[in-house]
A and B are shown apart, each in its own frame.
Chain A
Amino acid sequence: MKFRFAKVLHRPTMIAAAVVIVIIVLATLSASWVATADALALSAKERLRAPSAQHLFGTDMLGRDVFSRTLHGGRISLTIGLCVGVIATLAGLVIGLIAGFVRWTDMILMRIVDGLQAIPAILLAIAIAALAGGGIYSVILAITIAETPLVVRLVRSMVLTIREEPYIEAARSMAVPAWDIMFRHVIPNMAGALIVQATYICGVTILFEAYLSFLGAGISPETPSWGNIMAEGRNVALLAPWVVMFPGICVALIVLAFNELGDGLQDHLDPRIRKSL
């Protein structure tokens, strides 16, 4: 797994994606300083104001500044994206390794994965998030359960390929313990593909959070996230489209950036498994 910076320069869209992610992450991290107003402050006389110099993204139906709410909401959405990206990848890695190495578990684990994949991810996530009581942890749990099967399948397929390689056979014939083979040979060979997968999951999760909140099963409205800012703007979407549009554009931009970064990383880190989707 070698990362050559010179090669990255040949893919300007990847640099653009990285720049977009950095800008959005920095903007949300510095929300307390950059925000032009209190994200939670209500103002009856400022209701549904169109974008202006005073309110860059306009105001919502409670007179709250959409720009400030979008900056603060980004923290929650990005945190959820990052957490699910890391947890789903690690959980998928562990389960996929077990399925790939311990043959008798393969049949059982893969049928569970098949079953989870047969349920539409959005329905499964909404059901888990709503039944688990809402809140950031429920949303993270819900999306992680929906996303992990994909990683399990990827890891298992890579393990099945790697374990037949001559160097693994050589290690086995030298009586290298299974865990040593796993940590020294198998996992490093999958690292590139896993980083790429984690990148895609981050993007998909941010989109999912938006859907969950939009359908009423996400983060509670008191805590702004991109999803619930849009959910709150639903009833006035045609009257004051800016309430939905600006956070929606942020979601689209960051997901697009994560997808492009994933594509770029795939080409650089693991050219053998080029992304076909």
Chain B
Amino acid sequence: MIDFVIKRLLLALPVMAVVSFVVFSLLLLSPTNPAAVIAGDYATPQAIAEIRAKMGFDQPLIVQYGKWAQQLLHGNLGVSVYENRPVIDMIAERAEPTVSLAICVVLVTLFAVPLGVISSWWAGRPIDRLVMAFAAIGTATPIFLFAYLLIGLFSTKLKLFPTYGFTSITAGVGPFLSHIALPTLTAGIAYGALVARVSRSSMLEVLNQDYMRTAKAKGLSVHKMIFRHALPNCAIPIVTVIGTRFAALLGGIVVTETVFAIPGIGRLCVDAILHGDYPVVQGVIIVVSLVYILVNLAMDLIYPLIDPRVRAS
């Protein structure tokens, strides 16, 4: 197992190297001079040149990348151009809302698994069509449309939840849940729709297997058939999609944070992109990609636990 983890971590290294190179290369696309941004609107050309030399922007790109990557390996994500603070501190400050939202969305998404199971069990029936319609609409509709529908109904009309903002769980479970409920539903619809579709299709595949027919012929109860034979055999595709689409979930969270004015990492990144605060953009993308890689590593480690055949191989 330890060998496997080490091997997977080693495989992640070139991926992180590519991510870092892509993130660094984004600077090349920018029409604005980072030194000019740092120097401010009224800076003289001489001041800009000085900052350029001081920051190393006048050096060859490969040298700049080498220095930047070296800092990165020491955990230094640089300093924000606008706030003049370490990027790592800014990300740490904004992590709680994003992590809370991501965990809540994943928890809510788990409800999509039984939806997919029900749908596959009654495949072709009205309940199946209903679930599949939800899945189709969930994946096709811009999530901010759901956000405004939910805000209009639950905040404006029924006044059940606040319209925007975030409250830490340390301030009490009640306020935390009331603030996070609508963002969770918003970001969870698209992700849940996907999980419901995958659960249905992998469950359908398992239900058509010979051993399921045998189980039915033996007179096994529906409960045992599903929980003992079907679900464990279709768990891997479901876990895989939860892991591989985690990046999509993070994307959804960016939009959700914007609609609900949640001060999270996604919002930090979008603001930084729009202001041209490159160190923050680079830092956030690096951290988010690292999280994605670690989540996928965790998924790989879960496989042997849910399917003994993987352990054997």
Contacts and interface: CB of A to CB of B under 8 A. Distances in A.
Q: Please say whether chains A and B are actual partners in one complex.
A: yes
Contact of A251 (B141, B151, B248): B141
Interface string B197-221: 1100110000000000000000000
B289 interface: yes
A127 B137 contact: no
A116 B17 CA distance: 11
B171 interface: no
A191 B201 CA distance: 24
Contacts of B284: 123
A214 B257 CA distance: 12
B289 A122 contact: no
Given A130-B274, A238-B156, A277 B142 contact: no
A248 B141 contact: yes
A131 B22 contact: no
B269 A123 contact: yes
Contact of A116 (B22, B31, B198, B202): B22
Given A216-B270, A217-B274, A252-B142, A111 B247 contact: no
B15 interface: yes
A214 B142 contact: yes
Nearest to A132: B29
Interface in A118-151: 118-124, 126-128, 130-133
Given A127-B281, A252-B137, A214 B255 contact: yes
A13 to B, nearest CB: 9
A133 B247 contact: no
B197 A120 contact: no
> At the interface, is chain A mostly helix, strand, loop or mixed?
helix
A256 B273 contact: no
Interface string B120-143: 000000000000000011011110
A178 interface: no
B293 interface: yes
B26 A119 contact: no
A122 B136 contact: no
Nearest to A254: B140
Q: How large is the interface on A (under 10, 10 to 19, 20 to 34, 35 or more residues)?
A: 35 or more
Interface in B189-245: 194, 197-198, 201-202, 237, 241
Contact of B18 (A111, A130, A276): A111
A237 interface: yes
A238 B148 CA distance: 7
Given A131-B29, A215-B255, A252-B141, A118 B151 contact: no
A259 B136 contact: yes
Contact of A115 (B22, B29, B144, B202): B22
Contacts of B141: 248, 251-252, 255
Nearest to B289: A118
B128 to A, nearest CB: 14
B258 interface: yes
A211 B281 contact: no
A182 to B, nearest CB: 27
A260 interface: yes
A255 B273 contact: no
Most A CB within 10 A of own CB, among B152, B255, B270: B270
Interface string A108-120: 0001101111111
B308 interface: no
B285 A127 contact: yes
A121 B248 contact: yes
A277 B241 contact: yes
B101 to A, nearest CB: 14
Interface of A: 111-112, 114-124, 126-128, 130-133, 203, 207, 210-211, 214-217, 230, 234, 237-238, 241, 244-245, 248-249, 251-253, 255-256, 259-260, 276-277
Closest 5 CB pairs of A and B: A115-B18, A122-B251, A255-B140, A256-B140, A248-B145
Interface of B: 14-19, 21-23, 26-27, 29-31, 136-137, 139-142, 144-145, 148, 151-152, 156, 163, 194, 197-198, 201-202, 237, 241, 247-248, 250-252, 254-255, 258-259, 266, 269-270, 273-274, 276, 281, 284-285, 288-289, 292-293
